[in-house]
Structure 1
Amino acid sequence: NNYLNDREFTLNWLRYRMENRPLGNRSLEYELREKGIDSEIIKESLDEVYAGEFDEYEVAVRLAEKKMVSLKKRKIEHNVTKKRLFGHLQRKGFSYDTIERVVNNIFENSKHQAPNLK
C-alpha cells in the first residue's frame, strides 16, 4: 500500500515539476531521494513520465532557449555564451550527452539566425 502511495506521489510530483519548474533527470532523482522515495520507484516513475508525456531533450531545449534570451542581451563572446549555457544545463541536472546535443543544436541554428553571437 505504501508502495502505491509513493508511486502515485512520485508520478504526480514529477508531472508538476516538469510543467512548472522543469529539471533534468539527475536533479529530479536527487530531489525525490531527498524526500525518501525508493530508488526503484524513482526510476520507474522517471521512465514512465519520460516515455509518455515529456522528453528530456525537449525540456533541455526549452530551458536553453529561455537562458539564451538573457545571454544574447549581454552580447558576450560565442565561446563564453556556450560555456555558460552548458553550465546552466548541468546545474539543472541534465546529462552530458543531452547538454551537448542541445548546445550544439542551438549554436548551429544560431549561426544562421543570430548575427550578434560572435
Structure 2
Amino acid sequence: MTVTEIVPVDKRRSKVILEDDFTLVLYRGEIRKFGIEEGKMLSEETYQEILHEVLFKRARERVLFLLKSSDKTEQELRRKLKDGGYPKEAADYAIEFLKKHNFINDQDYGRRYVEFNSKRKSERQIQYELQRKGLDKEVIKEILREQPVDEVAQIRAYMKKKCLSPEEMDFKESRKMMAALGRKGFSYDAISRVLGGIYSDD
C-alpha cells in the first residue's frame, strides 16, 4: 500500500491516507517509529505490526470508554470506530473482545431498550429506532412479542395530559388527533380503540 498523504488531525495525531482512501489515525511518534512517509510503500508486514502493537489495543480501549457513558449496539460501536479511523481488523478485534467478556449483547440491549421506552414510544417507533441501531427485524419482533407495547395506555395518557376526552371531541377534532397520533407511529387499531373507531370506513 502506498502512503498518499499524511494530514494532521490535531497537535498529536495525523491521518495516514493510503491508496483507495484507506485511512489510519496514528500519533506522530508512531508515524516516525514505523517509518511512514508520503509517497512511500507501507508493507503488509509493517501494517500488521501497527495493527497488533497499536490499533488492536487502542480500539479495545476506545469501545470500553464508549460503553462507560451508555449502552451501545455492535453497529453503533463499529460506526464510532470507523469514524475514528480504525480499520476493520481493529474493529473486529475490539468487538470480539466485548462479546467474549459479555460487555455487549444486541438482544439484551433490545430488551432493555423496549423496557425503558415501552411507556412513551409506539411499537413502530421502537422498531424503527432499533433497526437503525443494527438489530435484526426478527430479533426485534421476538422481543416485542415477549414485551408488548401497550399503545392504548400510551394514547390515553397522552390525551389525559392534553386534557382531551374522546367523548367530547367532534369529528374534525378527532380526525386531527388521529393524524397526530399516526405521525407518532401508533397503530390504527390502538388509535381507533381509544377514539371509538369512528374512522372504520376511511
- Report the TM-score when normalising by structure 2: 0.44
Structure 2 residue 71 is the aligned partner of structure 1 residue 22: yes
Residue of structure 2 aligned with 1:69, choices 106, 119, 123 = 119
* Residue correspondence of structure 1 range 24-103 to structure 2 within 5 A: 24-54=73-103, 55-71=105-121, 81-103=122-144
Give 1:116's aligned residue.
Answer: 153
Deviations 1:59-79 (A, max 9, x none): 2222222222322xxxxxxxx
Deviations 1:41-61 (A, max 9, x none): 111211220221322211222
> Structure 1: any 5+ residue segments left out of the alignment?
72-80
Distance 1:86 1:61 in 2: 12
Distance 1:31 1:63 in 2: 20
Higher CA-based Rg: 2
Distance 2:80 2:71 in 1: 12
Q: Which has the higher strand share?
A: 2
Distance 2:61 2:139 in 1: 24
Give 2:50's aligned residue.
Answer: 2
Give 2:4's aligned residue.
Answer: none
SS in structure 1 of the partner of residue 135 of structure 2: coil
Select the structure with the greater relative contact order (CA < 8 A; seq sep ≥ 6): 1
Q: Which has the higher helix share?
A: 1
Amino acid at match of 2:111: V
Structure 2 residue 155 is the aligned partner of structure 1 residue 105: no
- Report the TM-score when normalising by structure 1: 0.70
CA distance 1:50–1:7, change in 2 (3 Å): same
RMSD: 2.5
Residue of structure 1 aligned with 2:60, choices 3, 6, 11 = 11
> Structure 2: any 5+ residue segments left out of the alignment?
1-48, 155-189, 191-202
Q: Runs (4+) of structure 1 moved beyond 6 Å?
A: none
SS in structure 2 of the partner of residue 47 of structure 1: helix
